[in-house]
Amino acid sequence: MSRYTAITQADREQMLAAIGVGSAQELFEAQIPPGVRLSRALDLPDGMGEQEVYEHLKALAARNVSAEEQLSFLGAGMYDHYVPAIVDMLCERSEFLTPYTPYQPEVSQGGLQAMFEYQTAISELTGLPVSNASVYEGPSAVASAGYMAKLHNGRSRFVVSAGLHPHSLQTLRTYAHGYGAEIVEVPLRDGVTDPEAWEQAIDERTGAAFFAQPNFYGAVEDAQRLASLARGASEDASVGAAASGNGAEPARVGGHPVVIAQVDPITLGILRSPGECGVDVAVGEGQPLGGRLDFGGPSFGFFAAREEYLRRMPGRIAGETLDADGRRGFVLTLQTREQHIRRERATSNICTAQALNALAGMVYLSWLGREGIVQLGELLLARTHYARQRLCEIDGVSPMHEQPAVRELAVRLPCDVAAARRRCIERGVNPGVDVQALSGREEDEGLLLVAITERRGAADIDRLAEALHAAVAECRRAASDQGVRA
């Protein structure tokens, strides 16, 4: 008998005989092309006993450092925000502990209402009339928006700002390869998307245009201008009014490409909403909304759009209705994933629902409230400005750009970023992300991306500046000594 299943060798032989093959290996060879077979045994170490496994895992766990033990300015998509106790209290209720699809609405009213309220909150946040009940995470939300755009207008050319998060760009490239879409990258100028290059890159073959707000380097983009240029319309007030998601049909200029913005939800308390700026689809990472840094997850992606994209949106949409007695009720209105409709018509193949994490996001937004999200945005804006000033007082450190920054800023160091980070970490401060290590771009050499949250006050920023000042000085001395010895 197998250690894990109750299938005997006789059972296996009977099943193989029923399908007409002599062995499992023969079955694999018939199904798996030679080019993707390993053709050798897996290179695995010898097994260990239970006690040895425990000691090994304990040693691995001891290498982890949490944001509670180390002053961390890491960001680039995942942020150390304060999570109020009410988020855990509500999400740990047994009614919500399964994200499984609520096929029977009569017994799933609580879960369906939570989805509906979440959709409402995301729609209000983004200024777009339709939201789905969450997708997997931020990068796959971007990629799903691209696939939806291709289905919408049939065009397979995507114009993408270089300010898009590298992980999102990589995910989009991976998806696009599968359905034959071309990716055209538009460079930055002065830290933001080059508007002339953006306009020139978009033509009648373009199916979608992507940018980030704020972008990966922390700069606030002129979202309305980028959306207007993508539409091919003049930058006047009528565009913003027609595109505000208030029921009016947005201006259509020769079937413009779908304008897709990857947005940071926390910044939407003080930045104009994507809908107001003429964006067609707003997607993003929901981790800042009530999610912790639990080893990189879990999180959720949000996805909001104009009504014309309703039937092609990925995932599922909960709706409000009345039952036979006229009472308010909730149902699953649309389900576009492959588990529910013919695969060739599906716009999503991810069946994992992130409903529990989306519920945390909805609870967090409700706790924060309309005024709270504005106050939080203003606080982050002020602290980011202070951090930029303090860090750029260090000899040799300069800002990557002079654009407005809400919660994240990129600075250029006069030394190796990895070495400076190691020296800061030795002082108990993680100064941020090595941008080139994440993006792989040559032009990002020397860039450090610093993230600010409400958990990082002025004293913490001062400590960061002191640690980075010492680290830069040490790196310079080490480089000078090396040069003398050489």
Model pLDDT for residues 403-441, shown as the tens digit of each residue: 999 999 999 999 999 999 999 999 999 999 999 999 999
Does residue 142 sit within a domain? yes
The residue count of the chain comes to 486
CATH classification at residue 167: 3.40.640.10
174 and 278, same domain (yes or no): yes
What pLDDT score was predicted for residue 49? 93
178 and 242, same domain (yes or no): yes
CATH classification at residue 447: 3.90.1150.10
What pLDDT score was predicted for residue 243? 44
Does residue 417 sit within a domain? yes
Does residue 114 sit within a domain? yes
What pLDDT score was predicted for residue 235? 37
391 and 242, same domain (yes or no): no
State which of 5-14, 27-36, 61-70, 214-223 shows the largest mean pLDDT. Answer: 214-223
What pLDDT score was predicted for residue 163? 97
Residue 237 is part of which domain span? Answer: 85-365
Bridge partners of 295, per DSSP, are: none
259 in Cβ contact with 305 (< 8 Å): no
Q: What is the dihedral of CA 446, 452, 458, 459, to 10 degrees?
A: -70
Does residue 360 sit within a domain? yes
464 and 448, same domain (yes or no): yes
Confidence of residue 4 (pLDDT cuts 50, 70, 90): low
User: Half-sphere exposure of 319 toward its Cβ, with a 13 Å CA cutoff?
Assistant: 11
352 and 431, same domain (yes or no): no
Last residue of a domain, one of 349, 365, 381: 365
Say how far apart CA 352 and CA 315 lie, in whole Å. 9
Say how far apart CA 80 and CA 450 lie, in whole Å. 12
CB burial class (10 A; 0-12, 13-18, 19+) of residue 218? buried
Over residues 275-300, the mean pLDDT reads: 90
Q: Does residue 215 register a pLDDT over 50? A: yes
Cα-Cα-Cα-Cα dihedral sign, residues 297, 437, 213, 148: negative
386 and 421, same domain (yes or no): yes
Over residues 125-136, the mean pLDDT reads: 92
Q: Return all residues near 411 (Cβ < 8 A) that are at least 6 apart.
A: 388, 391, 392, 397, 398, 399, 400, 447, 448, 450
What pLDDT score was predicted for residue 349? 65
Say how far apart CA 259 and CA 159 lie, in whole Å. 10
Q: Which pLDDT tens digit goes with each residue over 257-268? A: 999 999 999 999
197 and 301, same domain (yes or no): yes
φ, ψ at 29 (rounded to 5°): -65, -30
Confidence of residue 3 (pLDDT cuts 50, 70, 90): low
Q: Taking the model in full, what pTM does it have?
A: 0.85
Confidence of residue 252 (pLDDT cuts 50, 70, 90): very low
Q: Which pLDDT tens digit goes with each residue over 139-187? A: 999 999 999 999 899 999 999 999 999 999 999 999 999 889 999 999 9
Q: What percent of the chain has pLDDT over 70?
A: 88
Say how far apart CA 199 and CA 159 lie, in whole Å. 10
Confidence of residue 249 (pLDDT cuts 50, 70, 90): very low
Selection from 171, 114, 112, 151 nearest residue 281 by Cα: 151
Say how far apart CA 213 and CA 184 lie, in whole Å. 19
- As a whole number, the mean pLDDT across the chain is 88
Does residue 238 sit within a domain? yes
346 and 208, same domain (yes or no): yes
404 and 421, same domain (yes or no): yes
Say how far apart CA 210 and CA 208 lie, in whole Å. 7
Does residue 4 sit within a domain? no
202 and 146, same domain (yes or no): yes
314 in Cβ contact with 336 (< 8 Å): yes
Cα-Cα-Cα-Cα dihedral sign, residues 66, 70, 74, 78: positive
Q: Does residue 234 register a pLDDT over 60? A: no
Does residue 378 sit within a domain? yes
Over residues 374-380, the mean pLDDT reads: 97
Strands annotated E in 8-153: 71-72, 130-131
Q: Does residue 451 register a pLDDT over 90? A: yes
Q: Does residue 363 register a pLDDT over 80? A: yes
Confidence of residue 25 (pLDDT cuts 50, 70, 90): confident
What pLDDT score was predicted for residue 7? 83
Last residue of a domain, one of 311, 339, 365: 365
383 and 262, same domain (yes or no): no
Last residue of a domain, one of 332, 349, 365: 365
Q: Provide the number of structural domains found in the chain.
A: 2
413 and 346, same domain (yes or no): no
Does residue 123 sit within a domain? yes
